[in-house]
Chains A and B, each alone.
Chain A
Amino acid sequence: MNSSLVSAQPPIRVTNLSMRYHYKPVLTDVSFEIPEGKTIAIIGPNGAGKSTLLKGMMELEPLIEGQVEFFGQPLANKRLTTAYVPQREEIDWDFPIDVMDVVLMGRHGQLKFWQRPSAQDKQIAEQALKDLKMWEFRDRQISQLSGGQQQRVFLARALAQQANLYLMDEPFAGVDMATEKAIIGLFHTLKAQGKTIVCVHHDLNTVDTYFDWVLMINARLVAAGPVETTLTPENLQKTFGSRLSLLNDLTETMYRTRLNQAHDHD
């Protein structure tokens, strides 16, 4: 709400972040900062570690190393300003719950564990649903929604969190035109309010129309910056070309022998 006061610090600053899956290095030594009030796309080939990066930043998966700061603070101090929209697949869509209840979950960060959502919380959820044109579906059980509608429910939930920073994992994946338009509309509204949006994105053709900034990733950070200057053929070649095999092999050996734990810090 009073984001201008804290804007001296970037919404996200990542320093030397490394992550792995079993022993395979997924991300190695990634460092970047992103500017406030922009829409930022994270792009890269399959398995480049885009979703993993988001999960690592949100502390959903462990970091091997590195720090993530939100507005200059650790995540614990900035939970309420940060909303995460996960991929649709990881949910049990058979779960007995209706749309309104899902959206209300976005208000939980603000509630104590015995509290129920207040009338005000419900108003916020209602507004979020209306913004995404899902209000008439509020009583539906979630299994009765189409893919795009499910995505919009997730976005409404994130909206209901009233955050300053939104991290979204492939919001455009497998959605219909109506949903895509709704998401773009949402982007405009949020940007107008000075909020920051970070998206994992897979469609290279739309990067320059939907986003201001781009992070190019392939197991490491290849480039980061404004779309016009960063989305160059040279950088694309680096991102979607082959990985640095020596780096990957050695990092894997390092994790496998657990050398990073054997080493005294100095």
Chain B
Amino acid sequence: MISDLWILATASLVAVACSMVGSFLILRRQSLLGDAISHSVLLGIVLAFLATDSRSLPVMLSGAVLIGLTTAWLSDQLHKTGQLQSDASIGIVFTLFFAVGVILISLYAGDIDLDQECVLYGEIAFVPFDTVIWGDLKTGIDLGPRAFWMILIVFAAVLASVVVFYQRLQTVTFHPTLAVSLGINVVFWHYFMMTLVSMTTVASFDAVGAILVVALLVIPASTAYLLAKSLKQMLWMAAGFAELAVLIGYALAFWLDSSISASIAVSAGIVLLAVVVQQQFYQRRLRTQTAIQSPLSAN
């Protein structure tokens, strides 16, 4: 029972943190960069682990952020100097990084407690067993799962960034050109966002793995994008949809005895689907009711 609570708490933090970061990704039309970074982060984790032999939070975070920013920067460079389309350059960079990560894992399979499976699913069901212990191993106090604390810290960082820099992020996201003309350093905020994305994906890694995190980044945020009237509303809604997905997904996994993280991602998709269907239905009715009604319908 306690472990169920830990799992739910961890999953909720992961989902909500992802949905906030994801909202900005969606609005900035950088979901593919988010996808890329979530893949590359694997290499960051592996390299950081091989270099330091530790899985402590600062090590993992710095490895991931470094690789995440490298992905963003390298894709950009390739786009400019190689004269390639930007999504092609993103695709080349992240598949390479991810492939190297997977190869390293299989080469050092004995040394890293990561396997290919865990890269894909994460192991949220095992999260409660890997705990942080305060003090001596035998007599110390069990503080709860490591993954939980990790995502809690990152969640706090993301939340704080969004609250404190809300206005800047809004301007930079809504209208980069205007932001430049106001003298705002758009490049800085771009890499700031990418740092948040990298941090969030690495903290979510234990729970949901490198790929399912993409679902949590883009799906609840897109659902909110369909409905929200302001950025604040969108962030709240995205968080709400993310939490809803966690609850439904957990129940689904329990019922089918399937992977918890995959079920959560699937539920996020189902929620999106429901909203899309409802909107289509509503629009169709609106169209038939009033033949000449102006511009509510999206183009």
Contacts and interface: CB of A to CB of B under 8 A. Distances in A.
**Is any CB of A less than 8 Å from a CB of B in the complex?**
yes
B177 A141 contact: no
A96 B180 contact: no
Interface centre among B166, B183, B228, B295 (most CB of A within 10 A): B183
Nearest to A141: B229
B230 A84 contact: no
A22 B231 CA distance: 35
Given A96-B230, A96-B234, A115 B167 contact: yes
Nearest to A100: B230
A108 B230 CA distance: 18
Interface stretch (A39-47, A87-95, A240-248): A87-95
A82 B183 CA distance: 10
Contacts of B228: 96
Contact of B181 (A60, A91, A102, A111): A60
B1 interface: no
Contacts of B174: 91-92, 95, 97, 102, 105
A146 interface: yes
A73 to B, nearest CB: 13
A29 interface: no
B125 interface: no
A98 B230 contact: yes
Contacts of A97: 170, 174, 230-231
B260 to A, nearest CB: 31
B285 interface: no
B215 to A, nearest CB: 21
Interface centre among A86, A90, A108 (most CB of B within 10 A): A108
A115 B173 CA distance: 17
Interface in B223-238: 225, 228-231, 233-234
A116 B164 CA distance: 9
B230 A101 contact: yes
Contacts of A105: 170-171, 174-175, 178, 182
Interface in B28-44: 29
A91 B167 contact: no
B184 A114 contact: no
Which applies to chain B's interface (DSSP): helix, strand, loop or mixed? Answer: helix
A170 B130 CA distance: 61
Interface residues of A, number: 34
Interface residues on B, range: 20 to 34
Contact of A98 (B165, B166, B171, B229): B229
Contacts of B165: 113-114
A117 B171 CA distance: 12
A207 to B, nearest CB: 25
Contacts of B182: 79, 105, 108-109, 161
Given A58-B181, A144-B295, A144-B296, A101 B168 contact: no
A65 interface: no
B137 interface: no
A59 interface: yes
Given A60-B180, A101-B230, A108 B167 contact: yes
Contacts of B225: 94, 96
A114 B183 CA distance: 15
Contacts of B291: none
Given A86-B178, A102-B174, A96 B229 contact: yes
A158 to B, nearest CB: 9
Contact of B167 (A102, A116, A144): A116
B27 interface: yes
A179 B149 CA distance: 55
A98 B168 CA distance: 16
B228 to A, nearest CB: 4
Contacts of A98: 229-230
B170 A101 contact: yes
Given A113-B165, A113-B167, 8 more contacts: A58-B180, A79-B183, A84-B181, A92-B27, A108-B171, A108-B179, A108-B184, A114-B168
Interface of A: 58-60, 76, 79, 82-84, 86, 90-92, 94-98, 101-102, 105, 108-109, 111, 113-117, 141, 143-144, 146, 157, 161
27 contacts: A58-B180, A58-B181, A59-B180, A59-B181, A60-B181, A76-B183, A79-B183, A84-B178, A90-B177, A92-B27, A94-B298, A95-B174, A95-B231, A96-B229, A97-B230, A102-B174, A105-B170, A105-B175, A108-B179, A113-B165, A113-B168, A116-B167, A117-B167, A141-B229, A141-B230, A144-B295, A157-B178
